Amino acid sequence: MPVAVEEDIARAICSDKWDPETGLLSPSLFKGQNTSVSRLAVTPLDETWRVFRSEVEKPPERTLARIGTINVGRLAEVGRSFADNPTALTVEPDPLEGYPSHAIIPQKISRGLANQILRELQLHSELR
C-alpha cells in the first residue's frame, strides 16, 4: 500500500549533488527510477541524519550535506501537474534491515519533472 499523502519524506543530499558555493542542486537527485527516500513518520528528521550518515554517506568521497523534505501529497501534485508529461507519483514502503523507514518512488522521473520537484524541496541543515 502506498505511503499516505499526509506523510513527509526525506531525501539525502550529498556532496556530489549539492554545490555549497552556488547553492545549486542536481536534478539527478530525483531523475530516474526507484528513488530512495526515508519516511519521517517512521524515523523523525533528527534521527534521519544518523540513518543517512550510516546508510548513504561514504567519507571522504561522499559526504551528507543537506536533507531535502517534501510532503507525499505535494509530490503527487507536482507529478500530476507536470505539463510536459503528467506523472502519477507515489511513494512505496521498502523497509530494509536496520532501516525501517526506507521507501522508494518507483516511477521514472524525467529531468524536467525532477527540476519541478527540486523547486518544492525544503532543505534542512544539521543542527550541531
Partner 1 sequence: MLAIEPPRSYRLSDRFGNPTEEPQQSRVRAFEPGQAAQEQLVLSKLGVNGWGRWQYFRLCFSDGWGEAHQRPLSPKSQEMFIEALKHLQIPAGVRPSLFLTDEGFLEIAWKDSEGKATQIEFGPHEFEVYSEPAGEEGRFPYDQLEVVLNRCFGS
Write down the H helix ranges in the chain. Answer: 45-55, 72-80, 111-120
Kindly tell me which of 58 and 80 has the beta carbon lying closer to partner 1. Answer: 58
Kindly tell me which of 4 and 126 has the beta carbon lying closer to partner 1. Answer: 126
- Assess contact for 39 and 93: CB atoms under 8 A: yes
Kindly tell me which of 22 and 125 has the beta carbon lying closer to partner 1. Answer: 22
Q: How far is the CB of 23 from partner 1 (least distance, A)?
A: 9
Q: How far is the CB of 100 from partner 1 (least distance, A)?
A: 16
Kindly tell me which of 55 and 77 has the beta carbon lying closer to partner 1. Answer: 55
Q: How far is the CB of 6 from partner 1 (least distance, A)?
A: 27
Q: How far is the CB of 42 from partner 1 (least distance, A)?
A: 18
Q: Which residues contact partner 1 by CB under 8 A?
A: 14-17, 19, 21-22, 24, 26-28, 32, 36, 55-56, 58-62, 84, 111-112, 115
Kindly report the number of other CB atoms within 10 A of residue 28's CB atom. Answer: 12
